[in-house]
């Protein structure tokens, strides 16, 4: 049979009900829990069902708070929570043994359940019959330091349920056969554990500080590299200024955009590390405060209420990957300028001349994807995957399309992937009916039918996918930016390493329908794939068709 406590807990979150609602099948749930299960809010249409009995509910269902159940939970928690043991009171505590003009109490005898002034406290020490009594600092409610079931002193600590208990609880009570330690032993064990945790936190803080130093060094290096490359390239362009003013402008903008992209990423990583340091400092301060507590019982009660009885497990501080800030694109720019001096006419127009930055279409995004307000980033919503769903990290349905489609000409765009372990990027075709609803465009399965082409990355491996066919690509260096060139005149779809401008794979695309850039950030697996896909863009894209003459 269920205990009273179990009947007051939500079957979804396994915690006490918060804003409980009762369905027509008489099953109770937290309001937010049932809305999460239905992936909707109370204003949406059904169908709805009960997670407990699987009964379908009417579409016009109205969720109302069960005030009676809410009151029961409040009463139960009030009875369950022990009164505070603090010695600070608004009025002085007086001696229970003084008959006339009671003196202020300075001690409390737990054996007598009485507060003692200085004279009666001395009497307790002098009389042999009273010497074995337990005398503590004065407290307004002595029963707070006693077992509420047996009215005996809390001299032991149950290691299984993490509660102070009396001797009778361990011998004949609900804690029989449980492992129990004396208060000072349990306090010493937990303090030792906290000291170990403090050492671990200090080590993590040191690692985070080193990571920030590395980020600062990379930041300076990135700015310096950009400045050095900008100066050298500008000097080379001065020799061919007459015919290359427009090309130089394009290269300068690429460098500016590269610098902004890398420094923004470095600042974001620094913010993450600083946030971890603040969290570590906060926990260290709380742990130090607990260790300085001299009253074992209060210490154990506080460490139990703060759930610090078990050693914390910390994920290691992620080392800064300097390769992510390698100025490969800047070296590529300089190499292209050198090549241009030898064979000028062979290099026009550059692929970057067709660089555009398509905006992401909110209406086509899968519900579990989040699009930034500027429509340049997409990532997984960082919410747990529903039980029983178990999607693969490369599940092609979790996609979003660009607002712009292409029917002719040449078009090039780049997507920043940095160190993201899973992603899928490509294009899809097809005429779209705006009346089909917000999921119409995202219903395509990227790369596994004959109307879509993509490159998939998973844990260091790169695959070219089209029409259920997969081809593993020979990529020796990690791609930080993926470039896609759609040459619709020639029927080509080319995928590049956007930094080195080396060709990864080419598709032959023969289609009469518009093509849409498509992006799949893949689901988040245990917090390892939360990074966004970001469209790389420059402020003033070079229009080769307008300036090519």
What does 455-500 look like in DSSP terms, one character per residue? EEEETTEEEEEETTEEEE----S--SEEEEEEETTTTEEEEEETTT
* C-alpha distance from residue 514 to each of 427, 432, 545 (Å): 10, 9, 21
Report residue 548's pLDDT band, with 50, 70 and 90 as the boundaries. Answer: very low
The contacts of residue 511 (CB under 8 Å, 6+ apart) are 429, 451
- Helices 183-238 and 328-342: crossing angle, nearest 10°? 10
Reply yes or no on whether the pLDDT at 442 is more than 70: no
**Average confidence (pLDDT) over 391-412:** 79
Q: Taking the C-alpha atoms of 337, 340, 342 and 345 in order, what is their torsion angle to the nearest 10 degrees?
A: -170
Residue 531, pLDDT score: 92
Residue 543, pLDDT score: 60
pLDDT in tens, 68-93: 888 888 888 777 655 544 444 446 78
User: Max CA-CA distance within the chain?
Assistant: 111
Say how far apart CA 544 and CA 350 lie, in whole Å: 9
**Average confidence (pLDDT) over 258-281:** 88
Reply yes or no on whether the pLDDT at 505 is more than 50: yes
**Average confidence (pLDDT) over 236-241:** 73
Report residue 370's pLDDT band, with 50, 70 and 90 as the boundaries. Answer: very high
Say how far apart CA 161 and CA 404 lie, in whole Å: 60
Which comes out higher in pLDDT, residue 247 or 203?
A: 203
Which comes out higher in pLDDT, residue 463 or 107?
A: 463
Report residue 441's pLDDT band, with 50, 70 and 90 as the boundaries. Answer: very low
Residue 416, pLDDT score: 96
Residue 386, pLDDT score: 47
Percent with pLDDT over 70 in the chain:
85
**Average confidence (pLDDT) over 504-532:** 89
**Average confidence (pLDDT) over 140-152:** 80
Which comes out higher in pLDDT, residue 462 or 73?
A: 462
CB 90 within 8 A of CB 73: no
Structure tokens that stand for 309 in this block: 């009885």
Cβ of 397: how many Cβ atoms within 10 Å?
Answer: 14
Reply yes or no on whether the pLDDT at 545 is more than 70: no
Report residue 440's pLDDT band, with 50, 70 and 90 as the boundaries. Answer: very low
Say how far apart CA 59 and CA 481 lie, in whole Å: 46
Quick one: which of 104, 110, 135 has its CA closest to 122? 135
User: What secondary structure letter does DSSP report for 434?
Assistant: G
Reply yes or no on whether the pLDDT at 433 is more than 60: no
Quick one: which of 415, 419, 421, 393 has its CA closest to 504? 415
Residue 45, pLDDT score: 63
Q: What angle do CA 431, 45, 41 make, to 5 degrees?
A: 105
The contacts of residue 227 (CB under 8 Å, 6+ apart) are none
Give rounded-to-5 percent helix, strand, coil for the chain.
35, 20, 45
CB 491 within 8 A of CB 477: no
Say how far apart CA 258 and CA 251 lie, in whole Å: 10
Question: Where is average pLDDT lowest: 204-213, 375-384, 476-485?
Answer: 375-384
Report residue 438's pLDDT band, with 50, 70 and 90 as the boundaries. Answer: very low
The most confident of the ranges 144-148, 313-317, 319-323, 424-428 is 424-428
Question: Where is average pLDDT lowest: 127-136, 181-190, 537-546?
Answer: 537-546
* Burial class (CB within 10 angstroms; exposed 0-12, middle 13-18, buried 19+) of 536: buried
Reply yes or no on whether the pLDDT at 211 is more than 60: yes
pLDDT in tens, 21-31: 888 888 888 88
pLDDT in tens, 280-327: 888 888 888 888 888 888 888 888 887 778 777 777 887 877 878 888
pLDDT in tens, 487-501: 998 999 999 999 999
**Omega before 349 within 30 of 0, i.e. cis:** yes
Per DSSP bridges, beta strands 163-165 and 410-416 are: unpaired
The contacts of residue 238 (CB under 8 Å, 6+ apart) are none
Cβ of 107: how many Cβ atoms within 10 Å?
Answer: 20
Percent with pLDDT over 90 in the chain:
28
No. of helices (H) and no. of strands (E), the chain:
10, 23
Residue 85, pLDDT score: 46
Cβ of 248: how many Cβ atoms within 10 Å?
Answer: 17
Reply yes or no on whether the pLDDT at 457 is more than 80: yes
Report residue 521's pLDDT band, with 50, 70 and 90 as the boundaries. Answer: very high
Say how far apart CA 177 and CA 335 lie, in whole Å: 76
Quick one: which of 147, 157, 118 has its CA closest to 135? 118
CB 219 within 8 A of CB 263: yes
**Omega before 337 within 30 of 0, i.e. cis:** no
* Residue where the block lists tokens 């707070």: 144
CB 36 within 8 A of CB 85: no
Residue 447, pLDDT score: 59
- Helices 183-238 and 241-291: crossing angle, nearest 10°? 170
Q: What is the pTM of this model?
A: 0.51
Residue 48, pLDDT score: 76
At 103, give phi and psi (nearest 5°): -85, 165
* Residue where the block lists tokens 């219903």: 443
Computed over every residue of the chain, the mean pLDDT equals: 82
Side-chain half-sphere of 267: how many Cα atoms within 13 Å? 7
3-state secondary structure of 57: strand
């Amino acid at each position: 049979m269920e205990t009273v406590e179990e009947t007051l807990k939500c079957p979804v979150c396994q915690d006490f009900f918060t804003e409980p609602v009762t369905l027509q099948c008489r099953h109770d749930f937290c309001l937010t829990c049932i809305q999460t299960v239905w992936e909707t809010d109370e204003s949406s249409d059904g169908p709805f069902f009960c997670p407990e009995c699987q009964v379908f509910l009417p579409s016009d269902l109205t969720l109302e708070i069960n005030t009676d159940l809410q009151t029961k939970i409040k009463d139960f928690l009030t009875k369950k929570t022990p009164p505070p043991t603090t010695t600070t009171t608004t009025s002085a505590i007086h001696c229970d043994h003084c008959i006339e003009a009671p003196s202020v109490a300075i001690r409390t005898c737990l054996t007598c359940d009485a507060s003692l002034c200085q004279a009666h406290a001395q009497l307790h020490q002098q009389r042999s019959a009273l010497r074995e009594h337990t005398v503590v600092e004065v407290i307004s409610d002595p029963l707070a330091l006693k077992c509420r079931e047996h009215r005996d002193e809390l001299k032991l600590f149950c290691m299984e349920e993490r509660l102070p208990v009396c001797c009778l609880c361990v011998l004949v009570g609900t804690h029989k056969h449980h492992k129990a330690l004396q208060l000072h032993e349990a306090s010493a064990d937990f303090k030792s554990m906290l000291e170990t945790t403090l050492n671990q936190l200090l080590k993590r803080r040191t690692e985070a500080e080193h990571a920030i130093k590395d980020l600062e060094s990379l930041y300076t290096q990135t700015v310096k590299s950009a400045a050095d490359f900008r100066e050298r390239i500008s000097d080379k362009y001065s020799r061919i200024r007459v015919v290359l003013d427009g090309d130089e402008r394009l290269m300068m903008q690429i460098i500016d955009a590269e610098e902004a992209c890398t420094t923004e990423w470095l600042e974001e990583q620094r913010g993450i590390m600083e946030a971890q340091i603040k969290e570590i400092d906060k926990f260290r301060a709380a742990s130090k405060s607990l260790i300085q507590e001299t009253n074992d019982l209060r210490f154990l009660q506080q460490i139990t209420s703060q759930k610090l009885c078990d050693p914390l497990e910390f994920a290691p501080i992620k080392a800064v990957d300097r390769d992510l800030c390698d100025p490969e694109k800047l070296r590529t720019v300089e190499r292209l300028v050198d090549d241009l001096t030898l064979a000028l006419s062979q290099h026009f127009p550059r692929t970057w001349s067709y660089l555009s930055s398509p905006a992401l279409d909110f209406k086509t995004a899968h519900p579990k994807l989040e699009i930034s307000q500027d429509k340049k980033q997409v990532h997984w919503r960082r919410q747990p995957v529903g039980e029983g769903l178990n999607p693969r990290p490369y599940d092609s349905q979790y996609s979003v399309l660009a607002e712009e489609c292409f029917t002719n000409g040449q078009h090039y765009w780049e997507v920043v992937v940095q160190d993201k372990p899973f992603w899928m990027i490509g294009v899809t075709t097809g005429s779209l009916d705006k009346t089909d609803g917000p999921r119409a465009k995202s219903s395509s399965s990227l790369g596994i039918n004959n109307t879509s082409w993509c490159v998939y990355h998973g844990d260091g491996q790169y695959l070219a996918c089209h029409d259920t066919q997969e081809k593993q690509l020979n990529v020796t260096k990690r791609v930080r930016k993926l470039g896609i060139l759609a040459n619709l005149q020639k029927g080509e779809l080319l995928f590049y390493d956007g930094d080195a401008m080396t060709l990864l794979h080419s598709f032959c695309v023969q289609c009469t329908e518009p093509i849409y850039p498509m992006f799949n950030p893949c689901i988040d697996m245990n917090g390892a794939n939360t990074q966004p896909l970001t469209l790389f863009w420059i402020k003033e894209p070079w229009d080769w068709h307008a300036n090519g003459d």
